[in-house]
Structure 1
Amino acid sequence: MMFHNLVTVLMLGSAAFAAQLTQVPNYGGNARAKPQMWVYKPDNLKSDALVVAIHSCQSSAQKYFQNAKIPWKQGSDRKGYITVWPSSTTECWDVSSKASLSHDGGGDSNAIANMIKYAIAQYKIDPGRVFVTGGSSGAMMSNVLAATYPDLITAVSLYSGVPAGCFVSSSGQVAAWNNTCSGGQSTATAQKWGDVVRSMYPGYNGTRPRMQFWHGSTDSTLSPNNYRETVKQWTNVFGVSETPTSSKPDTPERNYRTDDFGPNVQGIWAQGVGHSVPSHLDQSEAWFGL
């Protein structure tokens, strides 16, 4: 009986110390937006990298973390890196207001940047190994973060998004839906799309995060036209051609096509796939260098 009780105590003890998603109640900064910050620190911490995983509309850090189709917890456990899971206080992330579409503007992007700064200091993250990923609204925010905080982010891998600034609200509304953008009617020249990115952090001339974006050809929520516009945007930002330097059919799997536009921009077109392009952990981690 004593042995049995000892085993039970040991098992409970190990469960108590098992890694779990934990909220950081005060991550600092003076952003007006106050999304929650959640952190997952794996039991076997082996890396000084950070991955920020940003949820979609009508979700949360907890739901995204527990979603079996979102593999970043598994990646964290496998390779020993910390993940941060922001949790929005609005139905979708604010990728429409001036506050969020500006460097240090006080919006959601500013708050997530503060989470990144907190994590770098608190968990001894290498500032050169900060990576961002997300799906749908989280993908839009990933693009916005790449534009507003290029100095904080090393690389981005986003799924089913739109160009940075595409969801802008003419009225300045926070977290507004933009039917023109979602429907694929927001088109512009590569120069204009690039200017949208540059205008979010005027005067910045440092390095930019490497951009990888995925989109499904039958996406009925965010039109597949947004893939083409995103290609225009980031090839212009990096000053490279919209014509791929290499194109690999059936990569990373059948009916997917991977297009490289030099070393810093990669687009993956998923033929026959709808709005929720499945996360490809290995390919996203490879893009991050993890």
Structure 2
Amino acid sequence: MRFLITAFTSALAVCGITAAGPLERRASLQQVTNFGANTSGTKMYIYVPNKLASNPAVVVAIHYCTGTANAYYAGTPYASLAEKYGFVVIYPESPYSGTCWDVSSRAALTHNGGADSNSIVNMVSYVLDKYNGDKSRVFVTGSSSGAMMTNVLAATYPDVFAAGIVYAGVPATCFYTGTVNGWNSTCSQGKLDLTQEYWANQARNAYPGYNGPRPRMRIHHGTADTTLNVQNYYETIKQWTGVFGYSTTASKTYPNMPASPYTRYIFGPNVEGVLGSGVTHDIKIFGDADMEWFGFTVSATSRRLKLLLDWLGWNGNRQGRRETG
């Protein structure tokens, strides 16, 4: 019997699987406990595809207020896309009544400050370790309160995330109240119209002293959003264009992309906006376009080169200008 157990363990090792702990079942949503420090009590759920890549990317998909991990798993395309591209999806679940995220406390808005943001990053570390994940391909996206958290994570943990996609959120720190899971009506109603420098500094100050790469950001919003006023789109654009040193005036505009009535705005290789005319807070998720932004459908190098050339105004005759600054 000891021989059989030893032989089985050796076979697992050859396949790249260790017997240190059970792997989560694949192709279904599974809860994970004891994933690391979790001061807020945030819940972790995971989807591991049957067709898991050898060094899988990780996508964190964050639900809206009143939502759950299961609701976001069932209502978004990320699990099916995981089967196509071989990445692992993490679905965090808010621990609070009403299931909004804590994007309002000082702890949540500070690198390694604890709270929900730190718990989610610890989920990422768990997945990277357990599944031999690719640390250079960790992405985050979310809707509404989950979009707010996406901006917060991009600001507080730029060393963890390579790119983020926001669906109807607000800038990082906009919802600050100094309380856990607070509501900021001034922010939600779009009453803030602050400078690009202010918002960029808010993002930078979430991780003092950090000078490394920052995540590429794509921002979606609807002009008829009455839950989180469309002004939050413009303030978020200010935040991330400021971080990257871009103008708030788009260099390229693409009507009806990724679909009507949306327009895609390119501000630079690392920042895009997608604004839906007449679209409410019930905003559509564009899974295929998300995969392009995250680099699954084209190589990250090719995608970034194309965006850079678009931004610089290059054409088939190689006419254009150099980036300065």
**If the length of structure 1 is used for normalisation, what is the TM-score?**
0.91
1:242-264 CA-partner distances (Å, limit 9, x unpaired): 11121111111122110011100
Partner of 1:129: 137
Partner of 1:41: 48
Report percent identity of matched pairs.
47
Of residues 182-191 and 142-151 in structure 1, the stretch that sits farther from structure 2 once superposed is 182-191
Give the Å deviation of 1:118.
Answer: 1.0
CA distance in 2, matches of 1:136, 1:190: 22
Residues 27 and 47 in structure 2, CA contact (< 8 A), matched pair in contact too: yes
Residues 214 and 268 in structure 1, CA contact (< 8 A), matched pair in contact too: yes
Partner of 1:188: 194
Structure 2 unaligned regions, length at least 5: 1-24, 297-325
Structure 1 unaligned regions, length at least 5: 1-16
Partner of 2:314: none
Give the Å deviation of 1:18.
Answer: 5.7
Give the Å deviation of 1:193.
Answer: 0.5
Partner of 2:8: none
| Stretches (4+) displaced over 4 A | none
Partner of 1:151: 159
C-alpha change, 1:249 and 1:84, in structure 2 (3 Å) is same
Residues 26 and 48 in structure 2, CA contact (< 8 A), matched pair in contact too: no
- Aligned mate of 2:149, from 131, 141, 150: 141
Partner of 2:35: 27
Does residue 173 of the first structure (1) align with residue 217 of the second (2)? no
CA distance in 1, matches of 2:155, 2:50: 33
Partner of 2:230: 224
1:3-29 CA-partner distances (Å, limit 9, x unpaired): xxxxxxxxxxxxxx7621111111113
Does residue 211 of the first structure (1) align with residue 213 of the second (2)? no
CA distance in 2, matches of 1:37, 1:206: 28
- Aligned mate of 1:248, from 249, 254, 266: 254
- Aligned mate of 2:63, from 55, 61, 73: 55
- Aligned mate of 2:90, from 64, 75, 84: 84
CA distance in 1, matches of 2:27, 2:90: 13
CA distance in 2, matches of 1:210, 1:34: 29
Give the Å deviation of 1:100.
Answer: 0.1
Residues 26 and 47 in structure 2, CA contact (< 8 A), matched pair in contact too: no
CA distance in 2, matches of 1:223, 1:157: 18
The amino acid across from 1:128 in the alignment is S
- Aligned mate of 1:71, from 53, 74, 77: 77
The amino acid across from 1:131 in the alignment is F
The amino acid across from 2:262 in the alignment is Y
Partner of 1:93: 101
C-alpha change, 1:18 and 1:95, in structure 2 (3 Å) is closer
The amino acid across from 2:112 in the alignment is D
Give the Å deviation of 1:279.
Answer: 0.4
Residues 136 and 276 in structure 1, CA contact (< 8 A), matched pair in contact too: no
**If the length of structure 2 is used for normalisation, what is the TM-score?**
0.81
Q: CA RMSD in A?
A: 1.1
Partner of 1:275: 281
The amino acid across from 2:222 in the alignment is G
Q: Secondary structure at the match of 1:261?
A: strand
The amino acid across from 1:42 in the alignment is P
CA distance in 1, matches of 2:52, 2:26: 12
RCO comparison, higher one (Cα < 8 Å, 6+): 1
Q: Secondary structure at the match of 2:268?
A: coil
1:126-167 CA-partner distances (Å, limit 9, x unpaired): 100000010000000000000000000000011000011100
Residues 146 and 208 in structure 1, CA contact (< 8 A), matched pair in contact too: yes
C-alpha change, 1:235 and 1:18, in structure 2 (3 Å) is closer
Q: Secondary structure at the match of 1:186?
A: coil
CA distance in 1, matches of 2:274, 2:210: 28
The amino acid across from 1:98 in the alignment is R
Residues 238 and 264 in structure 1, CA contact (< 8 A), matched pair in contact too: yes
Partner of 1:14: none
CA distance in 2, matches of 1:257, 1:19: 35
